[in-house]
Structure 1
Amino acid sequence: MFWGFIAVIVAGIGGAGISIILGKITKGRTPKWLTPFAAAFAMLVTTISNEYLWYDQSTANLKPGVAVVSTIESSAFYRPWTYLFPITDRFAALDTNSLTAHPSGQNRVVGDLYFFARWENTQRLQILFDCASGGTLPMVPGETYDEVTEADFANPNGDEEMVSLACSGGTE
């Protein structure tokens, strides 16, 4: 966030600087409003590009073995360009390095799911995957989940990609 703020300030100074240089080249024939307009335009373009680049930069920084399993795009009235090109501002990633067989041995796998969101801290949730039914069950720390039945699993058809990735050990 800090570096994004610095980038916007530098872009504003650069836009104003280009306008001032253009004024010197044309011997003062540029309109007086051009300098603040150029600064504001450069700052707006930088802010918009930072919003669109966040997802690509975030996924590029994921460690090997962490796979994106879901993305959420958004549009907002105060960002009208997002109606044409929605912004990915949240995503979930499965850490295949954390996958372990559940002690019950019932074709179940435990793994870490991370939730990333723009301007928010990363959240981690441990998930129990039932490879037989294709269901998922969020785990509460400290619980063993030895007595879980197939009826306890949610989304039997909602997260096929994530479940198949977890049940294959992350080799898809």
Structure 2
Amino acid sequence: MLLGLVGTLVLGIAVVGCLMFLNKLTGKRLPRWIFPAGAALGMLTFHIWNEYTWFDRTAADLPAHVAVAETYTTSTVIQPWTLVFPRINRYAAVDLSTVKTNDKAPGYRLAEVYLVTRFTPTAATQQIFDCPGGRRAFLGRSDTFGEDGLPEGAAWESLDKTDPMLSKVCSAPTSG
């Protein structure tokens, strides 16, 4: 966040510098308001670019075995352009190298899922997916597994059969 602010300020100064050079070349014929207006336009453009490309830049840095499964958009009145063009501010990614099965519960898969939100530390969660039943449950550190290989007292969430996270986890190669 601090680097974004510094980058925005440096860009504003650079735009003013370019306009001053252009003003000198034209014999100081540019109106005085062009300097703050140019700096403001440059900084606003950089800010919008930085916000809208955050997801693409972040997702491109993920290792090959981590796949983005879901994205979530946001709109706010403070940034009115997001009301027309919502931007992605968080996403969920699954580490396909961590997908595991249990011989006692063959239709279920355990995977590590990362919840990434802009300006927030990434949260790593363990989730179990019921592939035939189309549901999932978040696992906590204190969760225990029963004789059937399933977590005891898990809060299952029903998913649509076309849910992207369910599809990625259930089609991933597994380890035992």
TM beyond 0.5: yes
Q: Which residue of 2 aligns with 1:162?
A: 165
Percent sequence identity over matched residues? 32
Preserved contact between residue 135 and residue 157 of structure 2 (Cα < 8 Å): yes
- RMSD of equivalent CA atoms: 2.3
Distance (Å, rounded) in 2 between the aligned partners of 1:148 and 1:104: 12
Alignment of 1:29-108 (within 5 A): 29-102=29-102, 104-108=104-108
Give secondary structure in 2 for the equivalent of 1:144: coil
Which has the higher mean CA deviation after the structures are superposed, 160-169 or 135-144?
Answer: 160-169
TM-score w.r.t. structure 1 length? 0.89
Give secondary structure in 1 for the equivalent of 2:114: strand
Q: CA deviation at 1:130?
A: 1.1
Which has the higher mean CA deviation after the structures are superposed, 32-41 or 88-97?
Answer: 32-41
1:152 to 1:10, Cα distance in 2 relative to 1, 3 A = closer
Which has the higher mean CA deviation after the structures are superposed, 139-148 or 72-81?
Answer: 139-148
Q: Which residue of 2 aligns with 1:120?
A: 120
Distance (Å, rounded) in 2 between the aligned partners of 1:148 and 1:22: 68
1:124 to 1:158, Cα distance in 2 relative to 1, 3 A = farther
**Alignment gaps of 5+ in structure 2:** none
1:156 to 1:52, Cα distance in 2 relative to 1, 3 A = closer
Give secondary structure in 1 for the equivalent of 2:62: coil
Q: CA deviation at 1:158?
A: 7.0
Preserved contact between residue 100 and residue 110 of structure 2 (Cα < 8 Å): yes
Which has the higher mean CA deviation after the structures are superposed, 140-149 or 159-168?
Answer: 140-149
Q: CA deviation at 1:152?
A: 4.9
Preserved contact between residue 102 and residue 109 of structure 2 (Cα < 8 Å): yes
Preserved contact between residue 11 and residue 43 of structure 1 (Cα < 8 Å): yes
Deviating above 6 A after TM superposition, structure 1's stretches of 4 or more consecutive aligned residues are none
Q: CA deviation at 1:2?
A: 3.4
Paired amino acid for 2:166: V
Q: CA deviation at 1:129?
A: 0.8
**Alignment gaps of 5+ in structure 1:** none
Distance (Å, rounded) in 1 between the aligned partners of 2:155 and 2:118: 32
Give secondary structure in 1 for the equivalent of 2:43: helix
Q: CA deviation at 1:11?
A: 0.9
Q: Figure out how many residues of one structure are paired with residues of the other and give that number.
A: 171
